[in-house]
Amino acid sequence: MENVEGASHKAHCLVLSYPTQGHLNPLLQFSKRLESKGLKVTLATPRSMYRSIHRSAASISIALETISDGYDESGIIEAESVEAYLERFWQVGPQTLIQLVEKLNASGCPLNCIVYDAFLPWGLDVAKKFGLVGAVFFSQSSAVGSIYYHIYKGFVKLPLTEPQVLVPGLPPLKQQDMPSVISDWGSYPAFLEMVLNQFANIDNADLVLFNTLYELEKEETDYLAKLWPLRTIGPTIPSMFLDKRLQDDKVYGFSIFRPNIDACMKWLNDRPKQSVVYVSFGSLAAVEAEQMEEIAWGLKGSKSQFLWVVRASEEAKLPKTFVDQTSEKGLVVTWCPQLEVLRHESTGCFVTHCGWNSTLEALSLGVPMVGVPQSTDQSTNAKYIMDVWEMGLKAPADEKGIVRREAIKHCIREIMEGERGEAMRRNADKWKKLAREAVDEGGRSDKNIDEFIAKVICSSSTPKKA
């Protein structure tokens, strides 16, 4: 460690993020870890994303830069379709990334490395053009990465025809346990192409980084580590919620929405220990109106107190009388500080879509989960939460794909009241302990970050291409 920390600012790393909060914040957290260990870090994302996010300046010491996705004013909202957006981004992004590298190289502290989001594989091409270390960063689990890789290589054929899917290193999966771009064949062609193209040039990457902890996915990670120089570096959440070694690292720093912090925390402070069901479906998920109604009445029927995050764009989907009928036991807000809520002693259960960041947060803070997956990798994460990590339940959906109120009510009661819930709570506490150990000094993730830094610093003595 001494050699790494002693090499302060002898190396410079550019970290490139795909433009969503679920990708930007994990890469920001990784950047904070790198900076705390002596690297100079510049974090870059498309201008459209930069314009749309709220920034907590006190929590961000990382230098920020932008590239273009071809839609600098409002990003994907401007585009005719997802396909049009990605096509334009893939044309413009590499060119403006090259311009950014040239700008930084001329700034007096030239780059030695590019860490690029796996969704942006052309980041590696730019790194190699300038003779830089190129490291790919996956904002998903090893299990999901393995699924996508085996489909990319043709080892798992699409569309799926068998009821059970076998992927090396993973437990047997049903079709409904697979990411939605696979199980709901033909539903998201542009997104499917993007997640498969994560592996287009991965064999040329100097390091492959996964935002997970090894103890959580040993078999899955070991299998992929046979293919590439893979290192687990997660969970990437603020240090003060884990090892507490970075005293200023208390929040992520980027948010699409302004959280109603005071109202949320005041309400939670008045509630008994582990009495509250926290409900949130993240910053992007658009929940169907029918599903919103079922969640609402399931919450009401559960008899538990609840804090429900319903974004302003989703509020019209709530049953008209729901807020009035439940005002004595529930609070509905448009946004709140999720980590603070999960850490609060009154929170006893987390009902969520099981996005990977939300899953890591609940796991790192020891909160049992009820999974109501909506899209992308969430069904796979929910499968693991219930059957592999045994720290929650995946609420069963009907033939229409809707989780009904009785299922919501039953899952909440199982966790909040039943003996099974106590077992899940013990498992959640186990993962919480392992998550903290992974990122603390000498933990596996911490050592892997040190190894990455040493490789970058070593490269700083190697002449770069013009």
What are the residue numbers of the active site?
23, 117
Asked if residue 371 lies in contact with residue 282, where contact means CB atoms within 8 angstroms, the answer is no
257 burial type by CB count under 10 A (0-12 exposed, 13-18 middle, 19+ buried): middle
Q: Rounded to the nearest 5 degrees, what angle is found at the Cα of 247, between the Cα atoms of 140 and 50?
A: 50
The residues, any chain, with a CB within 8 Å of residue 210's CB and separated by 6 or more, are 138, 140, 141, 142, 145, 221, 224, 230, 231, 232, 233, 234
Q: Which amino acid is at 322?
A: F
Is the bond preceding 159 in cis, omega lying within 30 degrees of 0? yes
- H or E element that contains 407: helix 405-417
Asked if residue 22 lies in contact with residue 53, where contact means CB atoms within 8 angstroms, the answer is no
- CA nearest neighbour of 138 among 234, 282, 48, 222: 234
Q: From CA 86, how far away is CA 191, in angstroms rounded?
A: 9
Q: From CA 387, how far away is CA 376, in angstroms rounded?
A: 19
Question: Alpha helices of 204-355 — where are they, by DSSP H?
Answer: 218-225, 261-269, 289-302, 322-325, 338-343
Q: Tokens in use for 59? A: 């929590």
Listing from the earlier edge strand, what are the strands of the sheet with 392-394?
330-333, 305-309, 276-280, 347-352, 369-371, 392-394
Asked if residue 22 lies in contact with residue 352, where contact means CB atoms within 8 angstroms, the answer is no
Asked if residue 20 lies in contact with residue 282, where contact means CB atoms within 8 angstroms, the answer is no
